[in-house]
A = this chain, B = another copy of it.
Amino acid sequence: MTNSLKIGVAGLGTVGVEVARLLAEKGPLLAARSGRPVELVGVSARDRNKDRGIDLSNATWFDDALALARDPSIDVFVELIGGEDGIALASVTEALGARKHVITANKALLARHGNELAQSAEDNMVSLGFEAAVAGGIPIIKTIRESLAANCVTRVFGILNGTCNYILTRMEKEDLSFEAVLKDAQNLGYAEADPTFDIGGHDTAHKLAILTSLAFGTRINSDSIYVEGIEAVATADIKAADNLGYRIKLLGVAVATDSGIEQRVHPTLVEKSSQIAQIDGVTNAVVIDGDIVGEILLAGPGAGGSATASAILGDVADIAAGTIRTPLGRPAAELKQYQNARMRAHEGGYFIRLNVYDRPGAFAAIASRMAEQDISLEHILQHQDDQDVVSGRQSVTLVTHETLEENVRMALAAIREDGHIDNQPQMIRIER
């Protein structure tokens, strides 16, 4: 019998407990599929005495994750501590240096330090698995890195945060405000008490940074991502988009352009007939455009203890089977410098919603400001309800043909300057 693969798990929150439980329950299956027994031999967490509902008596307890990371008894260090620096970074660094394979679900850590950690894994000839860090149970890392190895990816985009998609889905289906759904999501445990990280788009940005590197062979660069959250999406936007044949999703998008790579996270109009538009609730989905294969979509549960544990155990099986792939798809030293495309140079369609004062000449002025910037319009939707009549305003929705973001921003600034609208105009990008 082959020597078993010995696993140490640092961090015993929801995911860590699930991984520990499944290593026992699924041990025989993992052994059958990978050709090598796997076993949990060490764990580390803050509170030794907490009842976690599982029997950990066969695993050695470490008060210090660093000690577990370097302990000779383990072959694989599973980091589920969290945080982009601190003990997570220190223990992963320590484990790689001690020639342990590392598996992590920590997107913040990878978004910040992924290049160096990948380099260290290569130097030490060990694996750095992070399937669980992006889109939970969806096998997006292996798909881009291995299955699509011969493809040049031209674009990758997706719904990478379940909380945001849950909120937008309920806003649409139940005609509720952002604030109302957020509150309910917090009560149901779908959103954190401080939801900023999710709804502000930052979690999506971390995941996107990792996908971008794999897709385009560039160094991970999470500082250059343009990020807008979903806080400003109004039900009026969702309804107007619906009338025009679109849904609104928070997407992370990475595209190779002539001037560099666009990495952007923002609310996005997607055509109702598209597959990504069908992804509802907490489900995640990623679309990859490959130059050989065409368009592939992967959808599934993007978070939660089980889905995350499933991905981690897939990485465990790879290691047990003796598979060590270069973490970022090519040697870290060969990754290209990331070159950022400026958002002002982004070309695309735009959805614009304005509250226009109901007075002569207002439309003509708006139309001429758009024309000045060479923006041609695909749709104009004018809507006035009872409340608008009282307030003396009209809601006007415009959809532009492909145009430069810079021009849209300039036109909107001029329209605002003219004084025909009563607030900041809403501008949402369209992805086709």
Query: A-side interface residues toward B, CB under 8 Å?
Result: 22, 26, 29-30, 32-35, 131, 137-139, 142-143, 145-152, 217, 275, 278-279, 290, 292-301, 306-307, 309-311, 313-314, 316-318, 321-326, 329-331, 334
Q: Is the CB of A149 within 8 A of B33?
A: yes
Nearest CB in chain B to that of A288: its residue: B300
Q: Is the CB of B310 within 8 A of A151?
A: yes
B residues near A279, Cβ cutoff 8 Å? 275
Known pairs A131-B147, A147-B131, A317-B149; A217 contacts B298 (CB<8 A): no
This protein's copies in its complex: 2
B residues near A331, Cβ cutoff 8 Å? 32, 35
Nearest CB in chain B to that of A300: its residue: B296
Q: Is the CB of B310 within 8 A of A30?
A: no
B residues near A313, Cβ cutoff 8 Å? 149-150, 292
Q: A140 to nearest B CB, angstroms? A: 9
12 contacting pairs across A/B (C-beta < 8 A)? A30-B149, A30-B150, A138-B296, A142-B142, A142-B146, A148-B314, A149-B313, A150-B309, A275-B279, A293-B306, A297-B299, A298-B298
Q: A293 to nearest B CB, angstroms? A: 4
Contact of A149 among B137, B152, B309, B314 (CB under 8 A): B314
Q: A334 to nearest B CB, angstroms? A: 6
Q: Which of A275, A301, A322 has the most CB of B within 10 A?
A: A275
Mostly helix, strand, loop or mixed at chain A's interface? mixed
A248 to B2, CA, bound (A): 49
Nearest CB in chain B to that of A305: its residue: B292
B residues near A334, Cβ cutoff 8 Å? 32
Q: Is the CB of A293 within 8 A of B150?
A: no
Q: A275 to nearest B CB, angstroms? A: 6
Excluding A30-B149, A293-B307, A321-B323, 17 further A-B contacts by CB distance (< 8 Å) are A33-B149, A33-B329, A34-B149, A35-B326, A137-B294, A139-B142, A142-B143, A143-B143, A146-B318, A150-B310, A275-B275, A278-B278, A294-B306, A297-B299, A299-B299, A321-B326, A323-B323
Contact of A321 among B22, B138, B292, B325 (CB under 8 A): B325
Nearest CB in chain B to that of A31: its residue: B330
A290 to B331, CA, bound (A): 33
A293 to B321, CA, bound (A): 21
Q: A314 to nearest B CB, angstroms? A: 4
Known pairs A137-B294, A292-B313, A295-B300; A147 contacts B142 (CB<8 A): yes
Contact of A147 among B34, B139, B217 (CB under 8 A): B139
B residues near A329, Cβ cutoff 8 Å? 33
Q: Is the CB of B330 within 8 A of A33?
A: yes
A32 to B29, CA, bound (A): 33
A314 to B329, CA, bound (A): 12
Contact of A292 among B22, B35, B148 (CB under 8 A): B22
